[in-house]
DNA sequence: CGTGATATTATGGTATACCATCATACGGAA
DNA sequence: TTCCGTATGATGGTATACCATAATATCACG
């Protein structure tokens, strides 16, 4: 046999990939993970609240095996922590941690934004523009969750356009850990205005391929959020016991 | 009763904390996690190799519950991935991912290093100096693992001195995903020399409180490693199937 | 000799059973 | 009344049992 004829070229391999039938083997565990994570992020469980395994079994209708594996996953993500001799609780966040998270976000998001400003193609720019237009249309409603979703899509576009899936993954994970904080921040006076305004600055810088300006605007965007979060957190005194 | 007399001050609270008896409830799961993670990092399992649950049970002498929870943890860490209809395998790494990891490391480590150069106290500087001296003493042996450990301690000192536990956690996790690559990189000609040299540059910049120089040296340190890793990875053709 | 159907096995997904430990409640004694 | 000891229940840690499915081997038929 002529090996050469059958050796898959890179192009053939790519084409074959589009043939793949994605048969998402939706396991109970994945569904439970999704549900529980969303519940925690949405604030259905408050920070520090105990997550009793058997109770969760009843609430989600699955067995402890599933619950425990899900808890391990969320624990590794940082959304759940296990108190010694007590079991899993919803992770608490104090300002020391939250501040670090904002710091990491600054480091990663400014990098992504600058990269995007250097290399973004037309499609990416159009996508960003669309997201911002939707945001403008919706920001009147002052709906924190809507704005949050649009903000997420904005940054997701920026990260993924540059092929920074891993960094985006990290940012997503960190954001879920400060989800409550983000919602509270967005509910603050003027944040529903200043946030989108900063994002437009970022977009403008990207559109005219100005990495420095994009970086500066991005840093300002996050630092403003961090400042608001700090005032909320220290005034609320949500310290880690 | 006079409340004031019994209200714990911050100082008393701190002193009380040192009284705490840390009773590490060493669970089977934690031990198994440690073992398996180290085994993967050490290359005892090769990338892509299947991790059959029942086999691991025999090898580690624990039940499947434990193994499965450990696998979930490692999966979330990125060290293990589950192939559909096949189960868990040791995560594969291609250059696209490795490059992203080096990028994130650049973003986080340059930030930490700059911060350290701005704020490091004498104790931190002394610690860094000691680590480097040990490294110099050992680098003659060209032992990749020794150098790796010292490098880790060097950066750990930098991150933790600035209170960047979360960022350090992220970096540690990312490094474990490219552990093989790092060892291979260190086995390369001259890397056992150039690496420590770069670290000394970083240290010198920190010692004279020069954030910009520290940042530049750190970026150079990582980018050199990335370049070597790239040549190794693309030549070996370790692509993700 | 090859091809397709069927039996067997391997393997992950899920549920459940058991145990040790810790917290709580209760009761008796000083 | 207070304090201590015991009993009981709640809870997480661990092991095991069962099931569905996919991979593999076997065999019969062309």
CATH number at A156 reads 1.20.120.530
Are residues A143 and A130 both part of a single domain? yes
> Could you please report the per-residue DSSP string of B166-230?
HHHHHHHHHHHHTHHHHHHHHTSTTHHHHHHHHHHHHHHHHHTT-HHHHHHHHHHHHHHHHHHHH
B52 touches strand D (CB under 7 A): no
Chain D bases closer than 7 angstroms to a protein Cβ = 10-17, 21-23
Q: Is there a single domain that holds both residue A102 and residue A163?
A: yes
Write down the mean pLDDT value for chain A. Answer: 87
SS3 (DSSP) at B50: strand
- B105 within a domain of the structure (yes/no): yes
| Bridge-based pairing state of the strands A80-83 and A87-90 | antiparallel
B108 touches chain A (CB under 8 A): yes
User: Cβ–Cβ of B75/A75 closer than 8 Å?
Assistant: no
More confident of the two residues B15 and A79: A79
Task: Give Cα separations from B161 to A11, B125, B172, B198 (angstroms).
Answer: 49, 10, 16, 20
pLDDT bin (cut points 50, 70, 90) of residue B4 is very low
Domain count of chain B? 2
Distance between CA atoms of B177 and B159, rounded to whole angstroms? 19
- The answer to whether residue A241 sits within a structural domain is no
Tell me the C-alpha to C-alpha distance, in Å, between residue A35 and each of A56, A67, A153, A165.
Answer: 11, 11, 21, 23
Structural domain of A183:
95-236
Answer yes or no: is pLDDT of B1 > 50. no
CA distance B166 to chain A (A): 7
Q: What is the pLDDT of residues B49-89, one digit of tens each?
A: 999 999 999 999 999 999 999 999 999 999 999 988 888 99
Residues A220 and A109 occupy one common structural domain = yes
* Claim to verify: residue B149 and residue B211 sit in the same structural domain: yes
* B196 and B112 fall within a common domain: yes
A170 and A104 Cβ atoms separated by less than 8 Å: yes
The 10s digit of each residue's pLDDT in A182-231 is 998 888 766 666 788 899 999 999 999 999 999 999 999 999 999 999 99
Which of A92, A127, A144 is at the close of a domain?
A92
Of B92, B119, B135, the residue that ends a domain is B92
Based on the fold, state whether residues B148 and B135 are members of the same structural domain: yes
Q: Is residue A218 part of a domain?
A: yes
B207 and B223 co-located in one domain: yes
How far is the C-alpha of A64 from the C-alpha of A76, rounded, in Å? Answer: 18
* Closest Cβ opposite residue A103 in set B77, B85, B167: B167
B102 and B77 in a single domain? The answer is: no
CB A91 within 8 A of CB A79: yes
Last residue of one domain, picked from the residues B92, B118, B137: B92
pLDDT band for position B240 (50/70/90)?
Answer: very low
Kindly state whether residue A37 falls inside one of the protein's structural domains.
yes
Residue B212 lies in a domain: yes
Domain shared by A73 and A109, yes or no: no
Q: How confident is the model at residue A164 (pLDDT cuts 50, 70, 90)?
A: very high
Do A84 and A100 lie in one domain? The reply is no
Residues A141 and A154 in one domain: yes
CATH number of the domain enclosing A25: 1.10.10.10
Residue B241 belongs to some domain of the structure? no
pLDDT score, position A12: 47
Q: In this predicted model, what pLDDT tens digit does every residue of B196-229 receive, in sequence order?
A: 889 999 999 999 999 999 999 999 999 999 999 9
Question: Do B99 and B31 share a structural domain?
Answer: no
Q: Residue A182: inside a domain, yes or no?
A: yes
Query: Angle at Cα B167 formed by Cα A150 and Cα A237, nearest 5°?
Result: 70
């Amino acid at each position: 046999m002529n090996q050469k004829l059958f050796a898959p070229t890179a192009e053939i391999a790519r084409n074959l990939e589009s043939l793949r039938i994605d048969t998402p083997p939706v396991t109970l565990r994945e569904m439970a993970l999704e549900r529980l994570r969303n519940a925690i992020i949405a604030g259905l469980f408050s920070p520090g609240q105990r997550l009793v395994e058997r109770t969760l079994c009843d609430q989600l209708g699955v067995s402890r095996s599933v619950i425990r594996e899900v808890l391990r996953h969320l624990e590794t993500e940082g959304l759940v922590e296990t108190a010694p001799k007590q079991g899993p609780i919803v992770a608490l966040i104090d300002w020391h941690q939250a501040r670090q998270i904002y710091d990491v976000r600054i480091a990663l998001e400014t990098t992504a934004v600058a990269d995007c400003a250097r290399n973004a193609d037309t499609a990416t720019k159009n996508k960003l523009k669309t997201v911002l237009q939707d945001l403008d249309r919706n920001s009147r409603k002052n709906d924190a969750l809507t704005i949050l979703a649009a903000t997420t899509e904005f940054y997701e576009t920026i990260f993924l356009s540059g092929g920074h899936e891993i960094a985006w993954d990290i940012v997503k994970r960190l954001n879920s850990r400060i989800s409550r904080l983000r919602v509270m921040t967005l509910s603050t006076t003027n944040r529903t205005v200043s946030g989108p305004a900063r994002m437009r600055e970022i977009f403008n810088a990207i559109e005219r391929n100005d990495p420095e300006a994009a970086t500066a605007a991005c840093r300002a965007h996050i630092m403003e959020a961090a400042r608001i979060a700090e005032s909320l957190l220290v005034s609320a005194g949500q310290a880690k016991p």
